[in-house]
Each structure stands twice: as structure tokens, then as C-alpha cells.
Chains A and B, each alone.
Chain A
Amino acid sequence: MHTVWVRLNAVVFFGLTALLGFSCLAALSKLGHSLRHKPVVEVLKLNTLRSLKSHGGYDRALLSFDLMVDLAPAFHWNIKQLFVYVVAIYETEGRNNQIVLWDKIVEADDEKVIDEKNVFVKYALSDQSDQLRGKDVTLQLQWDHMPITGLLYMDGQAVESASKFRLPAEYQ
């Protein structure tokens, strides 16, 4: 019986199936892109340590950094935006710590070269206790690919090439 409803149902169902198929194809079309094209972080290093203080028993450092990277290789037609962030990695007694200090959303239409000097952190480097003094901190750039449709995946600067610095042994 070919009523309006049966036809409508068939059209909607076929439309959704086709949409799903195209979405899958779009996601598959750029599989492995990050293996072939990887942005190179030219510069990411500490510029100035502004302060290292104790805030009610918790250590907190404020700093600025230099960053230079061309993110264009990470983009392709199914990438809506990159979420780029600077991570401070350090170890304290019995703890591995990763803290995001700064982040930026780079959309597909935006300028993809980030070349900035003396960028002040958006989030303080604050410890869970009072153990920041004299610690080695690694600054690493990472980015998260946000697709229009499909899989989310992350990438980042190789840890070996990331720059390190040592926080002073006294508050300042």
C-alpha cells in the first residue's frame, strides 16, 4: 500500500542512510592525515618567570613564553578547528602533573601561523601543594583536531624536543 506515509518514511530513511554514509566517507577520506602532515613547533620556550609565590599553602607560578608554529599542515577539509594548548609537565613527590597554561582555538578560516613573543599564561601554573620550588618543568605544545564530522584525534610536539626550565629554589 503506497500511502503518503510509506513514501515519506522511505524518503526520510534513505536520506538519513545516505547522510550517514557520506559522513563516514568524509571521515575516512582523511584517515592517517596526521601521519603524513605534522606541524613543526619552531619555538616554544619560557620567556620570563613573573612570580613564584605561595597562595595559602599552594604554590603558584606566573610566567610568559614565546611560541612560533605553523599549524597549516594539520588542517584539511574535514577539520573545523584546532584546539591548541601549552601544557606544563612536572613531577612532584608521588605525583605526575599536567597543567594547561594557555590555549587557543584556531578555526579553519583563521590565520594558522602563531608567532608570538612574551605571551602571558591564561591559567596559572598552580600546584596541588607547595612543591613547585626547584622543580623542572617541561613546556609542550599539543593540539586537538575537531572534525566537522568524524573522529577526534590529538597530536603534539615530541616530548624530546620540548623545552625545559627549572623553577627557582626560593619564592620570588
Chain B
Amino acid sequence: MIKDILDKQVFELKKLWANKRQLTFQVLNLAMIVFSALMIWKGLMFVTQSESPVVVVLSGSMEPAFQRGDILFLHNAVREVHVGDVVVFKIKDRDIPIVHRILKVHLDTDTFQVDLLTKGDNNRVDDRGLYAPGQLWLNRDDILGKAVGTLRYVGMVTIALNDYPVLKYVLVGMMGLFVLTSKEG
């Protein structure tokens, strides 16, 4: 069955290659989809002032509030942070951002700089062990945004893609192929 489908796709591709006008149309179509997605992402970045407006929860350290695979919407346009806020922060020189809750806030009333300490709801100890060596406090700039909304399970796809990187190429390849070969109407 898979061979049938593949043969069909190859046949469609060959036909498409012969028809340059149709080919141009399909390529533009694909480009439109890619750029729309990019525009939505960049638009969200602008509105939320956050470098990653949507994140996927990768660990169980905030259970039962958030589980692996939940997605969180971040907002970073408000400077002020409070204890109890769930925030996403990034430690310098480390790739993966962390979603945890603020435990302590010390605000300097002259410079308006804050020293923050965070902790995962499901962790026994605070996050000092996760910070850079010698780092005791987070600053406002370490925070990518405050979690303002959640949607369940949607991030499972991302987790699957992360765990099995091959899947990424298969999925993207398949999507590209189908967009190219599918016909409107």
C-alpha cells in the first residue's frame, strides 16, 4: 500500500515538473504557508515582547499544575513580577528554558532591579542548584515571560519530535511533498 502511495507521489512530482506554470504555483503556495507561520510567530513575539511566546513543558517539575506536553503562552510586556508567578527563565549558557514558580522577590527601590528565587512545585528544593555555578538570584532579564495561559496535550508532538529527531525530517518532507502534489479543488 505504501509503495502504491509513493509511486503515485513520484508520478505526480514528474507531472508537476513537466508543467512549469503549475510548479511555480505550488512552490509559491508552499512558501506562503511557511511565511504565514513565520509571520504569526514573529507577530506574537512583538505583542508579548518575549523571544519565545509559546513553550512546551518538557519536565514534570511543575506537576500537577503542568504536565509534560502542555503548552504555555508567555507574556513578557509587563516588567513587574510577583511571588507565585509561574515564569519561564533561561540560565546563561544553557539552552533549555525552565518553567518554575517564583518563591522570593527582593526589589531594590532605587534601581528597580529585582533578585528572584524560583522553585518547581513538584521539586523538594529551590532552584539554586539549577542556576549557573555561584549564582544565587535570577534577574528580570533572565525571564523570558510569565505564563498566562495553558493548553493541554498539544505539545506532545513537539516532545515526540524532540525524542525522535528523524521524525522531524519525515514529517517536514511529507508535508512539503503533499503541499506540492496536492491540487486545489
Query: Which of A's residues lie within 8 Å of B, judged by CB?
Result: 1, 3-6, 9, 23, 27, 80-81, 83, 85, 87, 94-100, 103, 105, 107, 123, 128, 142, 144, 146-152, 154
Contacts and interface: CB of A to CB of B under 8 A. Distances in A.
A105 B151 contact: no
B86 interface: yes
Nearest to A123: B103
Nearest to B73: A151
Nearest to A153: B148
B151 A149 contact: yes
B107 A142 contact: no
Contact of A23 (B5, B84, B151, B183): B151
A48 to B, nearest CB: 23
B151 A100 contact: no
**Chain B interface residue number, banded:** 20 to 34
A142 B84 contact: yes
A96 B83 CA distance: 12
B58 interface: no
Interface stretch (B17-25, B42-50, B108-116): B108-116
Q: Is the interface of A mostly helix, strand, loop or mixed?
A: strand
Contacts of A27: 149
A4 B104 CA distance: 55
A22 to B, nearest CB: 11
B105 interface: yes
Task: Tell me the interface secondary structure of chain B in the complex.
Answer: mixed
A146 B109 contact: no
Given A83-B65, A98-B82, A100-B83, A6 B182 contact: yes
Contacts of B115: 128
Interface in B89-138: 101, 103-110, 115, 121, 126
Interface of B: 5, 8, 64-66, 82-86, 101, 103-110, 115, 121, 126, 147-152, 178, 182-183
Nearest to A151: B149
**Most central of A4, A81, A85, A146 by chain B CB within 10 Å:** A146
Given A96-B109, A149-B150, A80 B183 contact: no
B101 A83 contact: yes
B109 A152 contact: no
B150 A105 contact: no
A152 B106 contact: no
A85 B65 contact: no
B150 A95 contact: no
Nearest to B12: A1
Given A6-B182, A23-B151, A96 B107 contact: yes
29 contacts: A1-B183, A5-B178, A6-B182, A23-B151, A27-B149, A81-B64, A81-B65, A83-B84, A83-B101, A85-B84, A94-B109, A96-B107, A97-B106, A98-B104, A99-B83, A99-B103, A99-B104, A99-B105, A100-B84, A100-B104, A144-B84, A144-B101, A149-B151, A149-B152, A150-B150, A151-B148, A152-B147, A152-B148, A154-B85
